[in-house]
C-alpha cells in the first residue's frame, strides 16, 4: 500500500513498516530458533515535508525498493513501489532497505534523483519489525541566469554545464533547473556581441559540488568602447548560503603596462621591459616555479627606465597599479617608485608606494620633485595581512579630485576589498606630479643614473604588475582578483 502526498523541498521520507506474523504448522514450527515462516506485511508510506521555498510534485509510484541482507545480498527487488506486496517471507536475520527514484544520470533537466537507505533491521521470529527509509535529493541543482548587462550588450548567449560524461545546454531563455551527478561540474558560457566579432567564452569549475544544493549562476558582462568583455560568473548557493565566484575577465581598457614576471621581466603591452638587479625568479602563489620575482631586502630591484611620465604626471592625471605581493618581513620598504631619495638625486621625486614599519600601505605623491616641499602621503588606516601569504593590492589615483585636501585622490584595495585611508603626511599646497628623470622601479627608489638610492629595499615576492592610465572601478578590482587569483 502506497501513500503519496506530494512535495518535498529536497527531502522525501519513506516509512516502511515490516510486520512479521509467525504462522506455525505441525510440520514446521520455530523449534530451534533458527528458522521460521515469516509473513511480511509491507506498508510503504511516503510522508512529505516542505523545506525551503522550492515546491514540486513527486510521484513515488515508480520508485524502486530493495530489501538487502546485511551481507550485501539482495533478497527482494521491486521495480515499482506501487507493486510492493503486503506479505513477503524473509528468513530470520539482519536487513536494510533502499528506495530510490529510477532516473539516475549525470545530467537532466527537471529530473531530480532521490535515494535513501534504512538503518539495519533485525528480523526476529515471532516479533514485528519496522524500517524507516529517509530519501533525500541526491543531485546538485543548477540554474542559469543572465544579467541585464548581458541582455543589453550581447545579441546571443548560452551556457553549457558539464558533469561526468553528460552535459546540458542552457539556451538563452532557458528557465528549467538542471540536476547533476558527479564532480567536478564545469561551466562554459558563450557570449556573442551585438556589434560583431568573435564570441567570448567564460569558463569555471565547481570542484566539489554538494548534493541538495541549488546553485544559481548569474552570468554578467559589459561592453566598453566597442570591445566586448565578460565580467564574471557569480555562483550563489541559495540553499546553504555558499558563494563561489568564477571569472574569466580581461580588463584591458587603459592597460599601458603589464609585467607577468614569468621567468623574465618583459613588459608585454608597451615593451617597457625591466632589468633585474639581484631580483630572481621564484615560486608564485600556486607553487609554480619561476612564475614571480623575489627581492632580498638588501639591494635587489627591477628598473624599467624613465618611462610612463605621460601616465603619472600633469594635472588631472589618473592611474592604477594592481599586483600580487608577499612581504617576508615587517619593515619600511619600497614596493614601487618613480623617485629618487636624499642619498642621490634628491630632486627627482615623483611618487613611491611603500609599506610602513607597521605594515600599512602608503602612497606618497610629490608635486615639485622634492619631498620636503609640496606632497601628500596617504596611508591605509590599518595594517594589511602579514602572514607571508600572497595578497592582491590595487592602488588608484585620481589627480582631478581636490576635495579633502587630496585625501580622496587615493584608494587602496586589499584582496579586492576597499581599505579605509587617512593622511600620514601633508606638506604645503595640493598640486600635480611633475615630469621627472627618476627610473620607474620595483623594489626600491632608483635615480636617473640607475642607482639604488634608498635604504628601504623590499623583501618578498611580487607578481603580475598591471599599470593603467585610469582609475579602476571597484567591480573591476574584484574581477582582477578573481581572474588572476
Between 50 and 287, the more confident residue is 287
CA-to-CA distance for 302 and 218, rounded, in angstroms? 41
**Does residue 280 share a domain with residue 198?**
no
**Does residue 435 share a domain with residue 302?**
yes
Domain end, chosen from 246, 267, 291, is at: 246
Quote the pLDDT of residue 336.
Answer: 96
**Does residue 212 share a domain with residue 148?**
yes
Percent of the chain with pLDDT over 70: 76
The pLDDT of residue 341 is above 60 = yes
The pLDDT of residue 86 is above 80 = no
What global pTM score does this model have?
0.54
CATH number of the domain that residue 357 is part of = 2.60.120.200
- Identify the band that residue 333 occupies on the pLDDT scale cut at 50, 70 and 90: very high
**Does residue 99 share a domain with residue 176?**
no
Q: How far is CA 427 from CA 84, 365, 377, 423, in A?
A: 88, 11, 9, 11
**Does residue 144 share a domain with residue 127?**
no
- Identify the band that residue 485 occupies on the pLDDT scale cut at 50, 70 and 90: low
Q: What's the pLDDT tens digit per position in 34-71?
A: 432 323 332 333 332 323 333 345 667 778 888 899 99
pLDDT mean over 171-195: 85
**Does residue 265 share a domain with residue 180?**
no
Considering its fold, how many domains does the chain have in total?
3
Domain end, chosen from 106, 137, 168, is at: 137
Q: What's the pLDDT tens digit per position in 221-264?
A: 654 433 333 334 343 433 443 444 444 455 788 999 999 999 99
The answer to whether the beta carbons of residues 8 and 51 sit under 8 Å apart is: yes
Quote the pLDDT of residue 228.
Answer: 37
Domain end, chosen from 137, 159, 186, is at: 137
- Report the half-sphere exposure of 125 (CA within 13 A, side-chain side): 13
**Does residue 148 share a domain with residue 122?**
no
- What does the block give as the cell for 182? 558527479
**Does residue 371 share a domain with residue 396?**
yes
pLDDT mean over 198-213: 80
Residues of the domain holding 218: 140-246
**Does residue 220 share a domain with residue 178?**
yes
**Does residue 121 share a domain with residue 259?**
no
Quote the pLDDT of residue 322.
Answer: 96
**Does residue 73 share a domain with residue 49?**
yes
Q: How far is CA 449 from CA 280, 371, 439, 446, in A?
A: 22, 19, 8, 8
CA-to-CA distance for 62 and 81, rounded, in angstroms? 6
**Does residue 40 share a domain with residue 22?**
yes
CA-to-CA distance for 197 and 223, rounded, in angstroms? 12
User: Which residues are registered as beta bridge partners of 46?
Assistant: 14
- Identify the band that residue 342 occupies on the pLDDT scale cut at 50, 70 and 90: low
Amino acid at each position: 500500500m502506497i501513500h503519496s502526498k506530494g512535495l518535498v523541498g529536497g527531502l522525501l521520507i519513506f516509512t516502511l513498516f515490516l510486520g512479521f506474523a509467525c504462522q506455525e504448522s505441525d510440520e514446521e514450527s520455530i523449534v530451534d530458533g533458527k528458522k521460521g515462516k515469516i509473513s511480511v506485511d509491507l506498508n510503504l508510506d511516503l510522508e512529505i515535508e516542505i523545506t525551503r521555498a522550492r515546491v514540486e510534485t513527486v510521484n513515488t509510484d515508480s520508485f524502486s525498493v530493495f530489501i538487502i541482507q546485511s551481507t550485501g545480498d539482495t533478497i527482494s527487488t521491486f521495480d515499482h513501489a506501487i507493486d510492493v506486496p503486503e506479505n513477503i517471507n524473509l528468513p530470520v536475520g539482519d536487513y536494510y532497505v533502499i528506495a530510490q527514484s529510477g532516473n539516475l544520470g549525470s545530467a537532466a533537466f527537471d529530473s531530480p534523483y532521490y535515494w535513501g537507505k534504512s538503518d539495519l533491521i533485525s528480523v526476529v521470529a515471532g516479533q514485528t519489525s519496522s524500517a524507516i527509509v529517509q530519501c533525500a535529493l541526491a543531485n546538485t541543482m543548477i540554474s542559469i541566469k543572465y544579467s541585464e548587462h548581458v541582455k543589453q550588450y550581447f545579441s546571443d548567449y548560452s551556457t553549457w554545464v558539464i558533469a561526468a560524461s553528460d552535459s546540458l545546454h542552457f539556451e538563452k531563455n532557458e528557465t528549467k533547473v538542471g540536476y547533476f551527478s558527479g564532480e567536478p561540474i564545469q561551466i562554459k558560457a558563450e557570449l556573442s556581441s551585438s556589434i560583431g566579432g568573435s564570441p567570448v567564452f567564460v569558463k569555471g569549475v565547481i570542484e566539489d559540488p554538494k548534493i541538495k544544493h541549488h546553485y544559481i549562476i548569474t552570468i554578467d558582462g559589459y561592453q566598453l568602447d566597442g570591445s566586448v568583455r565578460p565580467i564574471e560568473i557569480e555562483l550563489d548557493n541559495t540553499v546553504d548560503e555558499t558563494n563561489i565566484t568564477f571569472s574569466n575577465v580581461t580588463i584591458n581598457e587603459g592597460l599601458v603596462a603589464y609585467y607577468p614576471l614569468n621567468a623574465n621581466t618583459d613588459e608585454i603591452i608597451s615593451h617597457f621591459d625591466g632589468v633585474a638587479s639581484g631580483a630572481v625568479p621564484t615560486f608564485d602563489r600556486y607553487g609554480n616555479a619561476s612564475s614571480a620575482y623575489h627581492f632580498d631586502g638588501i639591494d635587489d630591484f627591477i628598473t624599467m627606465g624613465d618611462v610612463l611620465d605621460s601616465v603619472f604626471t600633469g594635472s588631472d592625471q589618473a592611474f592604477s597599479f594592481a599586483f600580487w605581493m608577499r612581504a617576508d618581513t615587517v619593515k619600511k620598504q619600497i614596493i614601487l617608485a618613480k623617485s629618487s631619495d636624499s642619498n642621490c638625486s634628491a630632486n627627482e621625486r615623483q611618487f613611491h608606494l611603500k609599506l610602513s614599519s607597521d605594515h600599512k600601505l602608503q602612497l606618497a605623491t610629490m608635486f615639485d620633485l622634492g619631498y620636503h616641499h609640496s606632497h601628500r602621503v596617504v596611508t591605509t588606516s590599518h595594517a594589511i595581512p602579514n602572514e607571508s601569504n600572497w595578497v592582491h593590492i590595487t592602488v588608484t589615483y585620481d589627480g582631478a579630485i581636490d576635495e579633502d585636501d587630496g585625501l580622496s585622490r587615493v584608494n587602496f584595495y586589499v584582496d579586492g576589498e576597499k581599505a579605509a585611508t587617512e593622511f600620514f603626511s601633508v606638506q604645503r599646497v595640493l598640486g600635480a606630479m611633475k615630469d621627472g628623470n627618476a627610473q620607474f622601479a620595483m623594489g626600491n627608489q632608483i635615480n636617473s643614473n640607475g642607482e639604488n638610492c634608498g635604504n628601504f629595499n623590499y623583501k618578498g615576492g611580487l607578481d603580475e604588475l598591471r599599470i593603467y592610465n585610469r582609475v579602476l572601478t571597484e567591480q573591476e578590482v574584484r574581477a582582477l582578483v578573481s581572474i588572476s587569483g
